[in-house]
Amino acid sequence: MEPQLATLTRERFSSPEWVCERKLDGERCLAFAGPEGVRLMSRSKHDITRTFPEIAGAIAAQQPGGLIADGEIVAFEGKQTRFGRLQQRLGVASPGERLLREFPVYYYLFDVLYAEGRDIRPLPLTERKKLLAGTVTFRDPLRCTQDRARDGEAFFTQACRDGWEGLIAKRASAPYLGGRSRDWLKFKCENAQEFVIGGYTDPQRSRVGFGALLLGYHDTDGGLAYAGKVGTGFDTRTLHRLHATLAGLEQDHSPFSRGRIPGQRAVHWVKPRLVGQVAFTEWTTDGQLRHPRFQGLRDDKEPGDVVRELP
């Protein structure tokens, strides 16, 4: 089952035919519950049930008689969802009590695909949301994603002022369609997307691990286009851990096929198998990132799916 994906847009509008929700900075998750138990699946179809046992347990406690729900798993830093904080839980199967206590997570549900013994994807969004509210008991770590109709522009202004990543606008009458569509639109306050890691530079002075990551995306012919490098957003622990992973992926040639690729000096090329999320202010005219900031590794997206995201 494919999750529905939103399309980035520069449009900002208010309409009674659309509802807006907070864009959460976490990991997308489809939850499957039935007689055989509960299964949590990431966007890239990885089973993450053991990674988030508290969420799996909360879904199992619903006893819904068959449920497929869609939502986002998040971790908070103050009032903001932070993917970097969620990173502490990703890839950890059967986390211990300390990790569960220090890095609590929440599952914000915003849609339901199967309930009451039937496939409800063909129903309008507004009807699916009513079924979701009537099917799931929302107690932590399960939370309901609140939406607002009509005043999308004012809501977007508020979202950016409050430090949110942005909004997702959804057509109220539309069915649930797997894949990317214009029935769901992204209003972003900050530019951010996934990039493939194709290399890294040596650290300078007191820096440990590495200096910067070399980033790329797949262009129309399938090649890896160079998009620049990111050297901020890392703590010491991440520098050490990520360097150890990158060192095991080194190769003797560049994986990039086009772009203003840096010279060989102090550069280590790696097999393009890792995906990182990076925030930035804008694209330059020559296709480079301006003021990039690393936010974390993503294991919920395949490197081959990473493309330049444009409105």
What ranges do the domains of the chain cover? 4-188, 191-305
Q: Any idea which residues carry the catalytic annotation?
A: 23
Q: Which CATH architecture has domain 191-305?
A: Beta Barrel (2.40)
Strand segments (E) across 35-141: 37-42, 67-74, 76-77, 80-81, 106-115, 118-119
Q: What is the pLDDT of residues 210-222, one digit of tens each?
A: 999 999 999 988 8
Report the candidate in 271, 296, 172, 269 with the shortest Cα–Cα distance to residue 214: 269
Q: What is the CA radius of gyration of the chain?
A: 20
Helix, strand, coil percent content, the chain, rounded in steps of 5: 15, 40, 45
Are the beta carbons of 173 and 18 closer than 8 angstroms? no
Are the beta carbons of 40 and 70 closer than 8 angstroms? no
Are the beta carbons of 219 and 207 closer than 8 angstroms? no
CA–centroid distance for 154 within its chain:
25
Q: Enumerate residue ranges in the chain where pLDDT < 50.
A: none
d(CA 133, CA 131): 5
d(CA 81, CA 79): 7
d(CA 247, CA 254): 15
Strand partners, 18: 171
Are the beta carbons of 11 and 153 closer than 8 angstroms? no
Q: Which pTM does this prediction carry?
A: 0.78
Q: What is the pLDDT of residues 143-198, one digit of tens each?
A: 999 999 888 999 999 999 888 989 999 999 999 999 999 999 999 888 889 999 99
How high is the pLDDT of residue 165?
87
Fold annotation for 4-188: D-amino Acid Aminotransferase; Chain A, domain 1 (3.30.470)
d(CA 57, CA 141): 10
The pairing of beta strand 179-188 with beta strand 166-171: antiparallel
How high is the pLDDT of residue 264?
66
d(CA 246, CA 228): 17
How high is the pLDDT of residue 261?
80
Are the beta carbons of 254 and 263 closer than 8 angstroms? no
The pairing of beta strand 80-81 with beta strand 142-144: unpaired
